[in-house]
Amino acid sequence: MVIAGRRERGYGPHMTNSDALETRLAAEITARRDDLVALTQALIRIPTLNPPGRNYREICDFLSDRLSGAGFSVELVRAEGARADSDRHPRWNMVARRDGARPGDCVHFNSHHDVVEVGHGWTVDPFGGVVRDGRVYGRGACDMKGGLAASIVAAEAFIAACPDFTGAIEISATADEESGGYGGVAYLAEKGWFAPERVQHVIIPEPLNKDRICLGHRGVWWAEIETKGRIAHGSMPFLGDCAVRHMGAVLAEMEEVLFPLLAGRHTDMPVVPEGARQSTLNINAIHGGEPEQEAGYTGLPAPCVPDRCRITIDRRVLIEEDPEEVKAEIAAMMERVKARRPGFDYEIRELFEVRPTMTDREAPVVQTVARAIEKVLARAPQYVVSPGTYDQKHIDRIGRLKNCIAYGPGILDLAHQPDEWVGIDDMTDSARVMALTLAELLAV
């Protein structure tokens, strides 16, 4: 890893200077509290719903205006040809960069600008940006427009307090995290935006809570398993071969052998919630026999022996597991079932795969954010790992950059829920942590 422009870090002789800077940064953030709220509201009021990917250009233009005004040079990047990109719903991304007075490390804040569908159960306007009882409400408030706003205000506060800084600050707002990130971070990483020679530290302000550092995530493997049979009249099932009964045998094998095995496989990754500190497998869907009747059809279904049955499995993978062995384990299970059932045949189709990733606790960005949390919140940070994936996968695998964490305001459980909100104090505290992180990494 390139860590350029080094100087002595830490406490000791720099104590007085860094204390003065810390006080100055706290004052700069306090002075920007109303602006932080207004910025969060403005972002919520641009409904960047995904799918299908609405208003991506609008939010990038809005952010471009804001950050150009703060002295950043801004590029808008359309992920042309990426999954889901179309002229109707183009996948726009925004990357803003501000270089300091001298060369040095680049600290990059990456937020996704897309939000998930609204759903039912709201008591406030999901795109109104309502402020009530110290909270900003709306779809995307915590996941993750509050985090994006906090990173922008943190950068602006740091630049005001320390205009002579070393290195560079980048802020990106990227598309499609909620649908895999292919038109967002994956595209940018493929084009070299996260190459270790141009970016050294990445912070993703996902809503992990202001005192937690998220080091990475488990891996995932989705596959479709199909059992095959032979169609026949339902009154004479002995003339056919029932694919649903074959699948029943597969499910029984999972219950008896596979699930107990997975439950006993524990990880040292600090995954939250704790129930996810083991290998897991979910059956996301099952389909067998005739398809659902078309709308408006009121007659009976026809009697047939089903010749196809499919399940989609969602296997979450630990860093201690070999992804190839995870796949081989499923294949071996299917072979065991096959050995017991004459005429049984099956197919496994791989759908999607993400490798587990976890940044080292000793990595510079982890240690720096940890010290900033201790100073701002007067408590030690908690180190966590996410049970599901987020854009760190692309930064790690395609971008080859390991010095990356998720850190940001908001309560993860509120994400994707009705009446989603982010706390204003949580945003200002996180912004202070982010500004202090910039100070430690980039202040002269």
Position with the least CB separation from Zn ion: 143
Residues 207-236 that bind Zn ion (CB under 5 A): none
CB 225 within 8 Å of CB 250: yes
Name the residue nearer to Zn ion (CB basis): 144 or 258. Answer: 144
Report the nearest approach of Zn ion to the CB of residue 18 (Å).
Answer: 32
Q: To the nearest whole angstrom, how small is the minimum distance from the Cβ of residue 47 to Zn ion?
A: 16
Query: Which is nearer to Zn ion, 227 or 392 (by Cβ)?
Result: 392
**Of the listed pieces 147-155, 205-213, 320-328, 433-441, which binds Zn ion according to CB under 5 A?**
205-213
**Which residues have CB under 8 Å from 295's CB, separation 6+?**
none
Q: How far is the CB of 230 from Zn ion (least distance, A)?
A: 46
Residues whose CB falls within 8 Å of the CB of residue 156, separated by 6 or more in sequence, listed in order: 32, 70
**Shortest Å distance, C-beta 97 to Zn ion:** 23
Write the CA distances from 315 to 192, 202, 221, 280, 390, integer angstroms.
30, 28, 5, 6, 16
Nearer to Zn ion, 79 or 439 (CB): 79
Q: In angstroms, how far is CA 288 from the centroid of its own chain?
A: 33
The pair of three-digit structure tokens given for residue 64, joined into one six-digit string: 């471009």
Choose between 147 and 270: whose C-beta lies nearer to Zn ion: 147
> Binding residues for Zn ion, how many (CB under 5 A)?
3
Instruction: Tell me the longest C-alpha to C-alpha distance in the chain.
Output: 88
Between 226 and 391, CB nearer to Zn ion:
391
- Give the DSSP per-residue string, 67-136: HHHTT-EEEEEE-TTSTT--SSS--EEEEEEEE-SEEEEEEEEEEE--B----S--SS-TTT--EETTEE
Minimum CB–partner distance for residue 112 and Zn ion (Å)? 6
DSSP secondary structure code for residue 292 in this structure: P
Of 32-40, 74-82, 199-207, 395-403, the window that binds Zn ion (rule: CB under 5 A) is: 199-207
Q: What minimum distance in Å lies between the beta carbon of 80 and Zn ion?
A: 24
Write down the residue that tokens 């949390």 correspond to: 373
CB 98, CB 70: distance < 8 Å:
yes
Residue indicated by tokens 């062995």? 325
Using CB under 5 A as the binding rule, the residues of this chain from 19 to 78 that contact Zn ion are none
CB 410 within 8 A of CB 143: yes
Annotate 124-175 with DSSP letters as a single string: S-TTT--EETTEEESTTIIIIIHHHHHHHHHHHHHHHH-TT-EEEEEEEEES
For the CB of residue 190, give the shortest distance to Zn ion in the complex, in Å.
Answer: 21
**Which of 55-63, 202-210, 252-260, 298-306 is the region at the interface with Zn ion (rule: CB under 5 A)?**
202-210
CB of 124 to Zn ion, least distance (A): 20
Considering the rule CB under 5 A, would residue 439 count as an interface residue with Zn ion?
Answer: no
**Closer to Zn ion at the Cβ: 50 or 428?**
50
CB-nearer residue toward Zn ion: 180 or 306: 180
Which segment (203-211, 218-226, 241-249, 296-304) binds Zn ion by CB under 5 A? Answer: 203-211
Residues 119-138 that bind Zn ion (CB under 5 A): none
- How many residues belong to the chain? 444
C-alpha–C-alpha distance, residues 242 and 227, integer Å: 9
Ranges within 138-197 binding Zn ion (CB under 5 A)? 143-144
Q: Which is nearer to Zn ion, 105 or 206 (CB)?
A: 206
Output the DSSP codes for 315-335.
Answer: EEE-TTS-HHHHHHHHHHHHH
Complex with Zn ion: residue 200 or 359, whichever CB lies closer:
359
Residue 64 or 389 having the CB closest to Zn ion: 389
Minimum Å gap between C-beta 370 and Zn ion is: 22
The least CB distance from residue 418 to Zn ion, in Å, is 17
One-letter amino acid at 397 equals R
Contact footprint for Zn ion (CB under 5 A): 143-144, 206
